[in-house]
Amino acid sequence: MTTLVGQVFGSLPASVRRLVPVELQADLRDRYGQWEPGDIGFEPDAPTAARGERTGPPDFIVLGPAECGARWWMSLIADHPGVAPTHSVDGAAHVFDRYCTEGFGDGEIARFHAFFPRRPGRIVGHWSADGLSYPWIAPLLARAAPGAKIIVLVRDPVAVVMDRLAATAGTRRPSGGADLADAVDRGFFGAQLERLHDLFPAALVQVLQYEQCVSDAPGALARTYEFLGLGGSDRPVLPHPIGHVSGNPGDRLSAATRSRLQALYADDVARLTQLTADVDLARWPNFVPEH
Amino acid sequence: MRPPQFVSQAFRGLPPNARTVLLHARGRYAPWEAGFDFTPPAAGPDEIVAPPDFVGVGVQKAGTSWWYELISEHPDVFDRADIHKERHFFTRFCVEQFGPVDVHHYHQWFPRRPGTITGEWTPDYFAHPWVAPLLAEAAPEAKILVLVRDPIDRFRSGLTFRRKMGAPNTSATVADAVRQGFYARWLRRLYEFYPPGQVLVQQYEQCRSDPQQQLDVTYDFLGLDVFRPPDVRREVNVSGGEKIDLEPEAEARLIETYHDDVVDLAGLVPSLDLSLWPRFAHEGSRP
C-alpha cells in the first residue's frame, strides 16, 4: 500500500528526488510506503483477468539478474505471438522477496497465479531477478509452479560482479560489504544450478550463456522457443540494451584483482560446466581452461 | 567540545538514517561505512606495530563484542580504546588493487606494547569470500577466531540489528542476513588459506553456558596464561527491543535451507554441540 505522501514523493521528478540523500530516501520509503521493487513492503497489484482469460501458474520462469540479460530475454520471449503479455517484467519480478520471513501457503500461491492471465492456446511466463541467488525463492517457485519450464541465464561471473556494482552504485545507501557480497554471490552459478536441480528436473531447465545470446540472439532465441514448444516468430530480435558498463566490465580490474576473482570462482565454474554442456568457456576468457 | 545535552537527546531521537546523514556531514564515518578514513593511527611512544596476533572473523550477533572484550582484559593483551575492535580493513578490496602498501597499512592498525599481543574482530570477514586470501597475505601467522550461533537465532538477531542500524528494508538486506549463516561454506573457504589448527571455532551457546571454561580454551589457543576476568557473564552490544517476525512456516523453510550446511559444520567442528541448537538437534541423523 502506498500512502498519499508516498505517492506525492514518488511522483516528483527523479532530479528532485535525487536531492534527498539516499540514506533519507530509505527512511522516507519506509515511513510513507513509497516502496520500490526489491523493497520488502512492495506489493504489486495483480492484473484483472479479461473475459476469456484464465489465470494459473506460469508456464515458464526466467531466472537471473538483469546483469545476465534475463530481463532482456524475458522481453524477447514475451514478444512472441504465442506468449501472453507478461505482467512480471517489473513489479512481480520481486514478488517472492518478502517470503523469507513470511509464511507462504495456498493463499500466497493463488495470489501469485493471479499475475498470469492468458487466453487459451497461449503461454505466459515470470521473471525472477533474485530467484537464482537468494536461496529461499527457488523452493517457493517449485511449490507455486512445479511444472514450469525454467530458463537460466549465466554470464562470466567476473563481469556480473562489476556490472552489478555499477548498476547499484548511487541507487541506495551504500552498505559497504553487504553490497559487495551480494554482487559476488550472484556469480556462483554452479552452486545455484545445483540447488535448482534439486527442485526441478534437469529436462525442465534450459541454461543459456549470456555471451552466446548476445553474439547470436536469433539462434539462441530459436532454441528457447523450441524449449517452450513455440514455433518460430518473424518479430525482429532487439539486441541487448547497453549495460551499465560498456565493453567487458571485467576489463576495469587490475590483473592481480582479476586473478583473485578468477581464483574465487574457479571451482564453481568447473562445477557449472559439469552440470551443463551449454556453457562454452571459450566465451569466458577469465576461465578458459589451460591446455 | 561536547554538545549540550538537549542536542544529544534530540540527535538520539532521530531515525538512524537521519543520524547517519548528519554524522557524515561532519565527516564522521564508522569503519564499516564507505567514506571511513583508513589512514592508520599513530603508534604511541612506547608502542610497536606488527601484524595482528589474532583476528576474529565471524560471526555478527554471536557474542563477538563480548568475547573480544574478555580477551582484551587479559593483562597480556593490548587494546587501544581509540581503535574500534572491527577494522573492516579488507572489505573494500573486493574489486580493488591490494598490494604490499596495503599490507603495511594493515599492520599499522595494530600498535601494542612490547611483550603483549593484539588483534581485531571484524564479524563480516567470514561471509566475504574475497577476504580470506587477503588476510592470509597480510597476517599469515595470525590465529583466527570464529564464534557461531544457531543460524536461525543469528538470522533474526542479525536482521533486527541491521534494520535498527538503518539498513534498507530490501531483499538484499534479508539475503545478506541469510548468507552469513552458512557457516560451513565460509569455514571451508577459510580453510583454503589457513590450516584448521590455526582456526578456533567456538559456539556462542557454549560460551553463554560456561563462559570461563570456554574463555580458558580461547586464552590457551592464543598462548595466554589462565586469567579470570571479573563479570564474565556481562552483556555487551545486545540488540534490545523486539526482533523481526519470523513466521513458523518461514522458519521451517529456513531450517531446511541451513540443514546441509549445519550437517557439514558438525563434521568440520567436532566440538559443536548440536543439542544446543534444538532446531538442528537431529540433523546429524537425517538423510
pLDDT at B2 (0 to 100): 62
User: Which value does ipTM take for this structure?
Assistant: 0.89
Q: pLDDT-derived band of residue A48, with 50, 70 and 90 as boundaries?
A: confident
Determine the residue among A31, A40, A99, A101 to mutate to test chain B binding: the one whose Cβ has the most chain B Cβ atoms within 10 Å: A101
pTM of the predicted model as reported, rounded to 2 decimal places = 0.89
Q: Would you give the DSSP letter of residue B203?
A: E
Which candidate, A129, A158, A101, A140, places its Cα nearest to that of B173?
A101
CA A230, A231, A234, A240 torsion: positive or negative? positive
**Closest chain A C-alpha to B226 CA, distance in angstroms:** 36
Q: Which of A31, A174, A185 sits opposite B179 (nearest CB)?
A: A185
Check B168 against A172: CB less than 8 A apart. Answer: yes
pLDDT tens-digit series, residues A229-255: 998 888 888 888 765 545 666 677 889
**Closest chain B C-alpha to A284 CA, distance in angstroms:** 18
Which candidate, B168, B185, B146, B175, places its Cα nearest to that of B59?
B146
**Closest chain B C-alpha to A178 CA, distance in angstroms:** 6
Check A100 against B171: CB less than 8 A apart. Answer: yes
Whether the bond between B59 and the residue before it is cis, its omega within 30 degrees of 0, is: yes
Check B171 against A130: CB less than 8 A apart. Answer: yes
Which bin fits B237, alpha (ψ -120 to 50), beta or left (φ > 0)? left
Q: Which of B97, B127, B257 sits opposite A181 (nearest CB)?
A: B127
Check A136 against B98: CB less than 8 A apart. Answer: no
Compare all CA atoms of chain A with the CA of B133 and give the residue at the minimum distance.
A260
Check A180 against B95: CB less than 8 A apart. Answer: yes
Compare all CA atoms of chain A with the CA of B36 and give the residue at the minimum distance.
A176
Compare all CA atoms of chain A with the CA of B14 and give the residue at the minimum distance.
A27
pLDDT at A250 (0 to 100): 65
> In this model, does residue A12 exceed pLDDT 90?
no
- The share of chain A scoring above pLDDT 70, in percent, equals 81
> In this model, does residue A20 exceed pLDDT 70?
yes
Compare all CA atoms of chain B with the CA of A105 and give the residue at the minimum distance.
B249
> What are the mean pLDDT values of chain B's consecutive 10-residue runs (287 residues total)?
73 72 73 82 94 97 96 97 93 94 97 97 97 98 98 96 83 94 98 98 97 98 96 80 90 97 98 96 61
Of chain A residues 160-219, which have a CB less than 8 A from chain B? 161-162, 165, 172-182, 184-185
**Closest chain A C-alpha to B37 CA, distance in angstroms:** 14
CB distance B204 to B56 below 8 Å: no
Residues of A with Cβ-Cβ distance to B90 under 8 angstroms: none
Residues of B with Cβ-Cβ distance to A260 under 8 angstroms: 98, 130, 133-134
pLDDT at A260 (0 to 100): 95
> In this model, does residue A86 exceed pLDDT 70?
yes
Angle at B130 between CA B125 and CA B136, to 5 degrees: 75
Check B21 against A41: CB less than 8 A apart. Answer: no
CB atoms within 10 A of CB A191: 19
Q: What is the largest CA-CA distance in chain A?
A: 63
Check B171 against A139: CB less than 8 A apart. Answer: no
Q: Which of A30, A103, A162 sits opposite B169 (nearest CB)?
A: A30
Alpha-carbon Rg for chain B in angstroms: 19
Residues of A with Cβ-Cβ distance to B169 under 8 angstroms: 26, 29-30, 39-41
CB distance A84 to A115 below 8 Å: no
Compare all CA atoms of chain B with the CA of A188 and give the residue at the minimum distance.
B129
